[in-house]
Chain A
Amino acid sequence: GAGVSQSPRYKVTKRGQDVALRCDPISGHVSLYWYRQALGQGPEFLTYFNYEAQQDKSGLPNDRFSAERPEGSISTLTIQRTEQRDSAMYRCASSLEQGINTGELFFGEGSRLTVL
């Protein structure tokens, strides 16, 4: 594809259900980042990967949140036992470069999660 693809674009779920959000980065991009953005706030870092290795997960709010990128390409962010406070836009971004080499972040359109 031409850009970072996220699915679903919109997800409405009931409290207590699990959700999985998918990110398909630009082909060949090494780094993949997940952010959460609440209304009126900036993107809040959750976690990032270089290839399949999760480099930093310090932003995951609690153990209900997890992420994986098993083959170094597509990534899934999973939220278990969702709560209303999890409602937000979840953004994925990928970058050709990694680590100290700085590449532009290319963002997807985001997945808007609403927990009822």
Chain B
Amino acid sequence: AQRVTQPEKLLSVFKGAPVELKCNYSYSGSPELFWYVQYSRQRLQLLLRHISRESIKGFTADLNKGETSFHLKKPFAQEEDSAMYYCALKLRSGTYKYIFGTGTRLKVLA
């Protein structure tokens, strides 16, 4: 079955420290992975997608098909990075729905 796993519900780091939010997926097809973010009192919004291979707000994520992972990384966390982060998998066969993980709350401490 298709599944997205985010093992950490809460991740607390100090400002300036590196951040890694973990995401693993289970899917037999060709995966398409995303990170969505929800800042306080804002809507859920796209942060980045693996096909773009881009860095957004200093965040990067590399799709590792061997480890079925798509971890989100940032070398130096900022206080404004504090938010809820969701990893999402888009299915690409028969249906094109998105499956979301349970989310990780990132708290960046001053």
A residues contacting B by CB (< 8 A) are 3, 31, 33, 35, 40-45, 48, 55-56, 58-59, 91, 93, 98-100, 102, 104-109
Partner of A104, one of B46, B86, B92, B99: B46
B residues contacting A by CB (< 8 A) are 4, 6, 9, 32, 36, 43-46, 49, 51, 86, 90, 92, 95-103
Mostly helix, strand, loop or mixed at chain A's interface? loop
Partner of A42, one of B46, B51, B97, B103: B103
Nearest B-chain residue to A109, judged by Cβ: B43
* Contact, CB under 8 Å: B97 / A43: no
> A45 contacts which chain B residues (CB < 8 A)?
97-100
> B9 contacts which chain A residues (CB < 8 A)?
40
Whether A102 contacts B101 in the complex (CB less than 8 A), given A107-B44, A107-B45, A108-B43, comes out as no
Nearest B-chain residue to A91, judged by Cβ: B44
Among B9, B49, B97, B103, the most chain A Cβ lie within 10 Å of the Cβ of: B97
* Contact, CB under 8 Å: B44 / A43: yes
What are 6 A-B contacts with C-beta separation under 8 Å?
A33-B97, A40-B9, A41-B103, A45-B99, A104-B46, A107-B45
